[in-house]
Structure 1
């Protein structure tokens, strides 16, 4: 079947606030859509997204082909991206994944439950005292960076800078295979270079005197198995700091935003807090942080009724698949009682997000405490907007009144 190219301007500023009508249009009329602006196939149906994510005919190495679009002066940024496990295939991916899993097993996430509860109460206290707060900057953003920094082993006085570096990294990592400007790469590249130098010092310190933190666990596992060099260690430390940081901020902000727009659903959670884990999955389905991923065909393969040639980029749109009516009843409606769902908010298959366990754990505790400590939460404005990082969908501000 011939390629189809139309007037849809994907992933631009006009889609930032509400991309879902465009996703719906593509899913219904052209579910495997050729986009000449990105030189890529855009895949929007749930079954097709699943097929791409689980098919070994598609490679996760987006760096090799995409880096050719950018100036050679950004070589160091793309060299780092090529070493993170999300951008690799087996056997490299398995080696990196097994090492990180081993480190996480040694540094058990569940052990931080009391710390998460304590931090939630501490961050919420000023808002309860004043009767209002800006939820994103005062709760949703600081909570994940404080927790992942503690797990990784970052001193409290350095966490504000870590947040700046993580923001720069995610801008590049989530958008480079779609589009980045030279100005963005100049700024972000400088920030990532500083980040890498900082973490190199942390790795060396952990080698000299290992502790119970995640960096020490990674260093011990890598040295035991002789499985990671310094560059791979640094790249995957950056990945872990991001995996446990920004996506959780977005999950918290978007989740509360959905509840505020659907007071009947908030009332259901107050009446039955055991629904909160299912509600977190529903937040990820309806307003997940990651809009899309990227894959590269390693051989000719058919998806739907389209033939994708070896070497071509494919962009599975998770946010479109998560509202596919073939899979989800009333797909645009928040339903905290939806129960078991195969939402793709953090991906699926071998490259499932490394931070999903921690993100779910933090979100469950955060929403339990939010609803436990308040009798009412109300929006104080109707003018809500999202951050400019298209592929990290997150409310920019969420001013609320608390009782």
Structure 2
């Protein structure tokens, strides 16, 4: 087939269970491949790394003339991105030491045990609905200060927002986009109202920290608070759901590696990094050149849509030995599991802690578990790729 149809084939739902042959085709076609819709795909490790760190590559959709709107810092360039990201990180603690997250390790372990204790031996479960989704949602809601009874509200909102954020050919507004905007408005309104209830009444949660910031120069506006709180909630659980679910699926498909980790739980941190490379929670991200950018002899025109296929870079044989082999002892694992550069995934540190807790607690149970359905049904989203359900017999 023509390499100009690669994006359409990658995003087609039939490719969701195994897009990796298409990623290999992308790398063979060249570092940069133009698509029929005028976009460009980049699938090789070193070119992706260079573009992720290139200040000429924008994340802001207004770069190509999109309608101006309030955007989360995930979709902004420096210096505005740096300002808002810095303000959003303040409640986590001093630079590079997110003590609020580290301080939740025991709480995360407790939530993990409670969820697993509710799963009876010999039962058939859905790992997504019964464990991989409730764990990170409960954790991020506790961090933000969302009442437990309101946690179910976020599933429908999150599903709509994630569906609208997917990478797909063409740029026409769809019903999915409209549903995403509606969910964003409702979730933002809920979180801002919840934060306002804590103004002048400080409590130990992040929404309270945002609205009770004593320095006026460091306060978020109402719109910035809404965008930041939404981003925290989405980044705080969506990547983790995929990381845990893809991890369990990968290990159950490889009993030898599962047995190794059960015998050597000290390898778990390295195994999580390998899962982030081998079956990453985020498969691709879009960038927009602010000026013509040359990559390996191909010009990326100013304003074009450039899709960096991170999961393809993670399997590039020019960077990783035996890239299609899952190796929990792999050294030198500089993957794109959470991206790279100034837009490195905001929820990455929390996702790692939750993955250590979840997989560590699951390992003793997985030796006698079996997959009920393989491949399982996947989510529609090609960018945030992971099973929608993962039926297991414990």
Whether the TM-score (by the shorter chain) exceeds 0.5 is: yes
Which whole-Å CA distance do the structure 1 matches of 2:281 and 2:208 have between them?
Answer: 29
C-alpha change, 1:207 and 1:175, in structure 2 (3 Å) is farther
- Please, which of 264, 282, 289 is the counterpart of residue 274 of structure 2? 282
Q: Which residue of 1 aligns with 2:250?
A: 258
Deviations along 1:241-279, whole A, 9 cap, x unmatched? Answer: 001111100100000000010111101100100111111
Which whole-Å CA distance do the structure 2 matches of 1:177 and 1:206 have between them?
Answer: 43
The question of whether the paired residues in 2 share the 8 Å contact of 1:99 and 1:221 is answered with no
Q: Which residue of 2 aligns with 1:79?
A: 69
Which whole-Å CA distance do the structure 2 matches of 1:253 and 1:63 have between them?
Answer: 35
Q: Which residue of 2 aligns with 1:401?
A: 393
C-alpha change, 1:277 and 1:135, in structure 2 (3 Å) is same
Q: Please state which structure has a larger fraction of its residues in helix.
A: 1
Structure 1 residues 244-253 or 125-134, which shifts more? Answer: 125-134
C-alpha change, 1:208 and 1:180, in structure 2 (3 Å) is farther
Where does the alignment leave 5 or more consecutive residues of structure 1 unmatched?
69-77
Q: Which residue of 2 aligns with 1:93?
A: 81
Aligned-pair CA distance for 1:114:
1.3
Which whole-Å CA distance do the structure 2 matches of 1:279 and 1:385 have between them?
Answer: 24
Deviations along 1:267-300, whole A, 9 cap, x unmatched? Answer: 1100100111111111111111111111111122
Aligned-pair CA distance for 1:373:
5.3
Which whole-Å CA distance do the structure 1 matches of 2:161 and 2:62 have between them?
Answer: 14
Q: What SS class does the counterpart of residue 307 from structure 2 fall into?
A: strand
Which whole-Å CA distance do the structure 1 matches of 2:264 and 2:49 have between them?
Answer: 33
Alpha-carbon RMSD across the aligned residues, in angstroms, is: 2.1
1:241 aligns to 2:236 (yes or no)? no
Which whole-Å CA distance do the structure 2 matches of 1:400 and 1:170 have between them?
Answer: 25
Where does the alignment leave 5 or more consecutive residues of structure 2 unmatched?
none
Structure 2 counterparts to residues 2-151 of structure 1, below 5 A = 6-8=4-6, 9-10=8-9, 11-37=11-37, 39-65=38-64, 67=66, 79-80=69-70, 83-105=71-93, 108-151=100-143
C-alpha change, 1:304 and 1:222, in structure 2 (3 Å) is farther
Deviations along 1:100-143, whole A, 9 cap, x unmatched? Answer: 22111176101111111111111112323444321111000110
Q: What SS class does the counterpart of residue 294 from structure 1 fall into?
A: strand
Q: What SS class does the counterpart of residue 79 from structure 1 fall into?
A: coil
Structure 2 counterparts to residues 167-316 of structure 1, below 5 A = 167-175=159-167, 182-221=174-213, 223-316=215-308
The question of whether the paired residues in 2 share the 8 Å contact of 1:172 and 1:180 is answered with no
Structure 1 length as normaliser, TM-score?
A: 0.90
C-alpha change, 1:34 and 1:269, in structure 2 (3 Å) is same
Q: What SS class does the counterpart of residue 358 from structure 1 fall into?
A: helix
Structure 1 residues 302-311 or 343-352, which shifts more? Answer: 302-311
Which whole-Å CA distance do the structure 2 matches of 1:61 and 1:79 have between them?
Answer: 11
Which whole-Å CA distance do the structure 2 matches of 1:214 and 1:388 have between them?
Answer: 31
Q: Which residue of 2 aligns with 1:75?
A: none
Deviations along 1:45-93, whole A, 9 cap, x unmatched? Answer: 000000110011111213553746xxxxxxxxx724xx21111111101
Aligned-pair CA distance for 1:181:
5.3
C-alpha change, 1:247 and 1:301, in structure 2 (3 Å) is same
Which whole-Å CA distance do the structure 2 matches of 1:256 and 1:147 have between them?
Answer: 20
The question of whether the paired residues in 2 share the 8 Å contact of 1:243 and 1:354 is answered with yes
Deviations along 1:192-247, whole A, 9 cap, x unmatched? Answer: 22112111202212223121111122233485434521101110110000011111
Q: What SS class does the counterpart of residue 296 from structure 1 fall into?
A: strand
Deviations along 1:166-190, whole A, 9 cap, x unmatched? Answer: 2222222343786575221232222
Structure 2 counterparts to residues 382-393 of structure 1, below 5 A = 382-393=374-385
Which whole-Å CA distance do the structure 2 matches of 1:7 and 1:88 have between them?
Answer: 29
C-alpha change, 1:175 and 1:307, in structure 2 (3 Å) is closer
Structure 1 residues 7-16 or 48-57, which shifts more? Answer: 7-16
Q: What SS class does the counterpart of residue 361 from structure 2 fall into?
A: helix
Which whole-Å CA distance do the structure 2 matches of 1:178 and 1:286 have between them?
Answer: 28
C-alpha change, 1:227 and 1:400, in structure 2 (3 Å) is same
Aligned-pair CA distance for 1:31:
2.1
